[in-house]
Amino acid sequence: MNRPLTVAVAGCGSRGQDTYTKILLTMPEKARIVAAADIDTEKLAGMRRLTGIPESACYASAEEMLLRPKLADVMLICTPDRCHYLQAREALLKDYDLLLEKPISPTAEQCRELRDIAVARGRRVAVCHVLRYTAFYQKIRELIASGVVGEVLSVQAMEQVCYWHQAHSFVRGNWRNEGLSSCMILQKCCHDMDILLWLTGQHCMRVSSFGSLSHFRSENAPQGSTERCLDCAAGESCPYNAVRFYLDEFRRTGDEWPQNVVAFEPTEEKLLAALRNGPYGRCVYHCDNDVVDHQSVSLELENGATVSFTMTAFTAHGGRTLRVGGTMGELYCDMKANTIKVMRYGQTDEIIDVRTLTDDFSGHGGGDARLVHEFIGLLRGEADVSPTMTSIERSVESHLVALAAEESRLNGGKVIEL
């Protein structure tokens, strides 16, 4: 292809604007943003400033943009979880290729339907399972495929959401309530289900799960706490104090995530107003949240291997860890530390420092940028489908496993056959 691919962005928030648009702007010879849609006029104005697109190319919603004849080669769907299905369906019927944010949809039927439409119409859909594109997980996959640990039979994985990230996104924020987004194990951990299947190269046969919303409930509110942190007498000793999270952090770090989620292009005044009136100033014990704050999942894979996965809010720091137990050796992998310890049985251990493998640890360990580059390269005919590619055909299984885990959790840990 000797012209840049044209791109329309649906949803110009943290992912659509702050992540993917900024990455696309670094590759103008390959891709050019030509249209954008958001229901928030401030964010659309931000897109215009960032990309230079005219007002006539801005739409008041993705639905409105999708009423127009096809505007671009590719559409990025970066709207809230419950918008994805209808928007992606319409975009596929208009023959857009899609970069589709996860989750594909909150229901198994809709995930399968979108996959089937994409296949029937020959469209490319990449689901944003960004972990696959990180140097960290790519190295682990290469090690497993090389046979260094023999046959993988036992895996333990942990997603440390971290106390403040749970409070930000899953108690106060956009993903706090299943009815507004989807269940935690799908929206947050479809990435983990995807990476575990991808690393082991296996399909999942059976699932069971336990978990609950234990802590972020009104009965656990400290004595004297109020509905908003700005007014709270208990704020000094509360680790979830929003004033400390957002205002103090803004003073320390400036316009960074997550302060720029609380207020678009934040200033102290904007943040104070958001803490006074918006969702992020609420006491974590007085929110309309219902998603779990800890959940464990057991998977049985087709070769009999067992995987245990834990997602928990109750960690001091964020990050993912993974222990891979094989017949000839073991891997211990720590994404935050960027280290992979290779322990061949009976031999000296080796530590791989992932920082020596790449310089790019921007968004999601470099995964955001590599996903965009790989997908655009594929659409431009510059690269074949790589084993990494998170096509919708391959990504649906992670969603089905996560939804089975949720069904199990809601049924007292009942085993769900896949």
Task: Residue count of the chain, please give it.
Answer: 418
Contact flag: residue 81 with ligand NAD (CB under 6 A): yes
Contact flag: residue 79 with ligand NAD (CB under 6 A): yes
Among 26, 40, 277, 288, binds ligand NAD (CB under 6 A): 40
Name the residue nearer to ligand NAD (CB basis): 182 or 338. Answer: 182
The candidate with the shortest Cα–Cα distance to 300, out of 177, 415, 131, is 415
Contact flag: residue 78 with ligand NAD (CB under 6 A): yes
> Which residues have C-beta within 8 Å of that of residue 269, sequence separation ≥ 6?
none
Of the listed pieces 7-15, 68-76, 323-331, 332-340, which binds ligand NAD according to CB under 6 A? 7-15
CB 327 within 8 A of CB 128: no
How near is the Cβ of 234 to ligand NAD at its closest, in Å? 29
Name the residue nearer to ligand NAD (CB basis): 340 or 371. Answer: 371
- One-letter-per-residue 3-state SS of 253-302: HCCCCCHHHHCCCCCHHHHHHHHHHCHHHECCCCCCCCCCCEEEEEEEEC
Binding mask 133-172 for ligand NAD (x = CB under 6 A): ----------------------------------------
Which residue's Cβ lies closest to ligand NAD? 13
Name the residue nearer to ligand NAD (CB basis): 57 or 148. Answer: 57
Task: Find the binding residues for ligand NAD in span 352-411 (CB under 6 A).
Answer: 364
Q: How far is 9 from 417, CA to CA, in rounded Å? A: 38
Among 6, 61, 156, 177, binds ligand NAD (CB under 6 A): 61
Of the listed pieces 26-34, 73-81, 238-246, 280-288, which binds ligand NAD according to CB under 6 A? 73-81
Q: How far is 102 from 187, CA to CA, in rounded Å? A: 7
Name the residue nearer to ligand NAD (CB basis): 11 or 366. Answer: 11
Give the CA angle between residues 105, 11, 67 to the nearest 5°. Answer: 85
CB 206 within 8 A of CB 117: no
CA atoms within 13 A on the CB side of 32: 12
Q: How far is 328 from 346, CA to CA, in rounded Å? A: 9
Of the listed pieces 11-19, 140-148, 221-229, 302-310, which binds ligand NAD according to CB under 6 A? 11-19
Where along the sequence are the contacts to ligand NAD (CB under 6 A)?
10-16, 37-40, 43, 61-63, 78-81, 83, 101-102, 128, 130, 174, 187, 261, 364
